[in-house]
Structure 1
Amino acid sequence: MSSLMTNASAMTALKTLQMTNKSLDQTENRISTGYKVATASDNAAYWSIATTMRSDNKALSTVQDALGLGAATVDVAYTAMDSVKDVLDQIKTKLVSASQPGVDKSKIQSDISELQKQLQTYASSASFSGNNWLSVDSSSSSYNATQSVVSSFNRSSDNQVSISTIDVNITGVSLFDANANASGILEKGQALTTTGGVADSAGTDGTGDAATGTTASTAFAYDFTTNGAMTINNDDAITFKFAVNGGDATDVTIDRSTVDTALGTSDGKVGSSADMEKVMVQALKNAGIDAVNNTGTASATGVKVDGTTAGTVTITTGLKGTDASLVTSGTASSNNGNFYDVMKIDITNASADDLKAYSNAIETMSGKVTTAAANLGSVKSRIDMQQDFVKNLMDAVDRGVGALVDADMSQESTRLQALQTQQQLGIQALSIANSNSQSILSLFR
């Protein structure tokens, strides 16, 4: 039936054309924006995911900047530390030169003084953005022994976010500490006290008695009942000079290795006088002194160590009479293993023993600097790896977001051409449908 009031063909053609125009608008929008999901109305789920991940990527970009700042700080500290190692080597060379007979030590000291100033310069100059790890003041309210570098931004499955860091303990890196109660690795260590579980214990000199034929003895006292276990930590050390029967004084050192070797442990703890007896025997043997425990028999040139009396370790000579003697001197302790301050070494009037002690001190410091530099190198390597990972992670997130919301331009361009053709055909179909009314008019002519 033909009707002037209702043109079903025109209505169908118009509807089809409207749908084509809508699809065409959508395609043109995708081509112009580059997104198939540009707004939440396009696809709420994908838009929400993409928006969150873009936000996370911005946070990761900040993490990347923080890693760059941390890498620069570590690099500055490492560079200075490497230079400090070279200067310490030069000082050690000067000390060896000063050991030669007839050398003017005052002139060598002039060179050493300049090298000492250079060490201070290196440490104070190792600053990046106001952050200096080599020259610190641990008494300052702003001081933090643990320096943190932001390394990652994390989002859990329940959408809880967290920040991870790479932490650096700068107490093992600091060369100088302005705090009078702390020490850098180029400074004399702080004396150990009973508060820390360890105490300096000066021995009493002893001589034999010809009339009674007694041996000389000296005692080292430590009250384990009151102070608890004596703990020798990794860098702790107790040292003293010990002379037997009028011989030369020998340096004796008790450190973590001495304790653990003597007791067969790995925690550096000495729990009783009996334990201390074993530690003292080990320390004396390490120093080349013939020593036996309380059940042994000391030789005429050796000593016997007895810790059976609580709180006291007694050392006696195997030799009896007035020729027997024990002399202890120079008892000292250090919480970082250093018994000298590199800045206070002065060889102008140094004896051969002094030069030897200085050389050993420089060697110890050099080892600590090498260890610190190695640790900084490890941190720098980890930061570099994390920087690469964060960059790759950001790229992966971008790819994931793109897979969700980016428009396929090849597909959209093909679709555009097809829709433009459909639009033209739709217009033509609508034109034909509208011309039907004109055909009805001809019936009345």
Structure 2
Amino acid sequence: MTSIITNVAAMTALQTLQATNKMMDENQNRISTGYRVADARDNAAYWSIATTMRSDNGAMSAVKDSLGIGAATVDTAYTALNSAKDVLNQIKDKLTTATQDGVDRTKVQDEITQLQEQLKSIANSASFSGQNWLSIDSNATGYDANKQVVANFSRDTSGALTIGTITVDTSKVALFDSSPTGGSAILNGGQGGNTNLGVVANGSASTTTNGSFGTLALTAFATASTIVTLDSNDSISFEISVNGGDAKAVTINKSVVDTALGTTDGKIDSQAHWIAVLNGALAAAGVGAQAVANGANGIDIKSNSASDGTTASSVKISSSAADQGTSVDKIDISKAGTTSDDIKKYLLVVDDAISKVTAGASTLGALQNRIDSQKTFVSNLMDTIDKGIGTLVDADMTEESTKLKALQTQQQLGVQALSIANASSQAILKLFQG
């Protein structure tokens, strides 16, 4: 049936042309933006995933920048340690020269003093972005030897975010500590010539039945805040007898400390640690007694038998330079009475410091490699995430170009079809002519 009211052919041609035009609009948007999924209405799931991953990749970029700052901080400390090692070698050379009789030790000390000042200058200058790992103050409020370098950013399956870090123990590389004891700093505390053992040399004490021992003979044991750091050259020793039995020698050295506390730094810094170390030393010596807390700070050594008493004597400290009571920054060979043997002890102190600086530089070198590897990984991971996002939302421009050609042809045919459909009703007029 032919109708001049309802032109079915024209309606069909118009719908086809409209559909073609809509697809052309979508195609042109993809070509213009480069995205197959430009916003949520294109594909809500893919758009949501891509948006989240783009945000996470931005955070990864910040992680990469943080790694760069961390790498620069480590490089600064490493460079300073290398310079400090060279200066220590020079001090070692000067001390070796000073052991020779006839050498003007005052002149040599003048050179050593300048080198000591250079070490302080190196430590104070080793700062990057406000961080100095070599010149510290362990007594400062909120001080923490463990420094964090941001290393990664991740999201788990539940959507929870995690910031990963690389921990750096700066106590192993610090050259100077401005705290009163010098802490465990390499050049003014913590090596041979330890001045903070806190033990009464050659003291003694005895007790009656199950009385207290320690608060009289070993003053360090009576104060929970006393911090002692023993290295391979330091030791604390005393003799102890139980109930009149034979006196047994008890020795506390770095090995005993590390074994008792499960550490590697020879550091005792609390009442609980003192008790653990004392008990380890007593057990190793085969003494039938144990250390127990006596109030908040005091420590008693009591017999394992309630009826026995304990007696302690010959309390001593020893160190490679205990009689010098020194560290690298306090070496002074110009003092009256200094002998070649004294200088040899100073040499041990410097050599120990060189070993620790070398170990610290080695630790930082390994850290440099780890940070560099992490930077490379983060960079590659960001590229991989970008690639994944592209797979989800990027338009295939070759495909879109081909579609555009086809749609342009369909559009032309649609226009032609609509024209033909509209023209068909004109043919009816001819039926009414003539």
TM-score range, shorter chain: 0.7 to 0.9
Matches within 5 A, 1:8-407: 8-141=8-141, 143-183=143-183, 184-189=185-190, 200-203=199-202, 235=231, 238-239=234-235, 255-257=253-255, 269-271=277-279, 275=283, 277=285, 310-312=310-312, 331=317, 340-349=326-335, 350-407=338-395
Q: Return the alpha-carbon distance in structure 1 between the equivalents of residues 403 and 80 of structure 2.
A: 63
Aligned-pair CA distance for 1:408: 0.3
The structural deviation recorded for 1:174 is 1.2
Cα separation, partners in 2 of 1:121 and 1:260, compared to 1, 3 Å: closer
* CA distance in 1: counterparts of 2:284 and 2:310, whole angstroms: 10
Cα deviation for residue 200 of structure 1 reads 2.2
Shift of 1:164: 1.2
**Cα distance in 1, alignment partners of residues 286 and 347 from structure 2:** 30
The answer (yes or no) to whether the contact 1:155–1:161 under 8 Å persists in 2 is: yes
Tell me, what secondary structure is at the counterpart of 2:139? Answer: coil
Instruction: Provide the rounded CA distance (Å) in 2 between the counterparts of 1:136 and 1:260.
Output: 24
Q: Is the 8 A contact 2:256 2:277 kept in 1?
A: no
Change over 3 Å in CA distance of 1:112–1:153 after alignment to 2: same
* Contact persistence 2:234–2:254 (CA under 8 A): no
Which residue of structure 2 aligns with residue 292 of structure 1? none
- The sequence identity of aligned pairs, in percent, is 50
Instruction: Find the residue that maps to 1:36 and give its secondary structure.
Output: coil
Structure 1 pair 227–271 and aligned structure 2 pair: CA distance change class (3 A): farther
Which stretch of the first structure deviates more once superposed, 103-112 or 40-49? 103-112
With the length of structure 1 as denominator, give the TM-score of the two structures: 0.74
1:255 Cα deviation from its structure 2 partner: 2.3
Gaps of 5+ in 2: 205-215, 239-250, 265-275, 288-307
Distance 1:237 1:387 in 2: 41
The Cα of 1:222 is off from its aligned counterpart by 6.0
Secondary structure, in 3 states, of the residue corresponding to 2:426?
helix
> Contact (CA 8 Å) 1:71, 1:384: kept in 2 or not?
yes
Shift of 1:119: 0.5
Q: 3-state DSSP class of the match of 2:102? A: coil
Tell me which amino acid in the other structure corresponds to 2:45.
Answer: A
Match of residue 416 from structure 1: 404
- Residues 173 and 360, structure 2, Cα contact 8 Å, conserved in 1: yes
TM-fit CA distance, 1:203: 2.7
User: Judging changes above 3 Å, is the alpha-carbon distance between structure 1 residues 277 and 92 closer, same or farther for their aligned structure 2 residues?
Assistant: same
C-alpha distance 384-339 of structure 1, shift in aligned 2 (>3 A): farther
Q: How far apart are the structure 2 equivalents of 1:34 and 1:109?
A: 74
Q: 1:370 to 1:203 in 2, by over 3 A?
A: same
Which sections of structure 1, spanning at least 5 residues, go unmatched?
A: 194-198, 206-219, 243-252, 280-307, 315-327
Amino acid corresponding to residue 253 of structure 2 in structure 1: D
* 8 Å CA contact retained: 2:85, 2:358: yes
| Corresponding residue number in structure 1 for 2:430 | 442
Matching residue's letter, 2:383? D
Deviation at 1:373, TM superposition (A): 1.0
Q: Deviations over 1:140-188 (max 9, x none)?
A: 2353322111111111100011211111121121111112144321013
CA contact (8 A) 1:152 1:164 kept: yes
Aligned positions, number: 369
Once the two structures are TM-superposed, the CA of residue 117 in structure 1 deviates from its matched residue by 1.2
Deviations 1:235-292 (A, max 9, x none): 47644899xxxxxxxxxx952237789x9x999945277546479xxxxxxxxxxxxx
In structure 1, give the amino acid aligned to 2:347: S
Residue matched to 1:429: 417
How far off is 1:426 after superposition? 0.7
Two-structure CA RMSD over aligned residues (Å):
3.5
Instruction: Work out whether residues 73 and 128 of structure 2, in 8 Å CA contact, stay in contact via their aligned partners in 1.
Output: yes
CA deviation vs aligned residue, 1:35-67 (integer Å, no higher than 9, x gap): 000010000000000000000011111111111
C-alpha change, 1:225 and 1:28, in structure 2 (3 Å) is: closer
CA distance in 2, matches of 1:224, 1:345: 25
Assess, with a 3 A threshold, how the Cα gap between structure 1 residues 273 and 223 changes in structure 2: closer, same or farther.
farther
CA 1:224–1:372 in 2, change beyond 3 Å: closer, same or farther?
Answer: closer
Distance 1:278 1:366, change over 3 A: farther
- 1:353-394 superposed Cα distances (whole Å, 9 cap, x missing partner): 111110000011111111111111122211111111111111
81-90 or 96-105, which deviates more: 96-105
Give the 3-state SS of the residue equivalent to 2:112 in structure 1: helix
Shift of 1:138: 2.2
**Distance of 2:252 and 2:40 partners within structure 1:** 72
Contact 1:39–1:47 (CA<8 Å) still a contact in 2?
A: yes
Alignment partner, residue 323 of structure 1: none
Given that 2:231 and 2:253 are in contact with CA atoms closer than 8 Å, whether structure 1 keeps it comes out as: yes
Output the CA distance in 2 between the equivalents of 1:360 and 1:120.
20
What SS does structure 2 have at the residue aligned with 1:271? helix
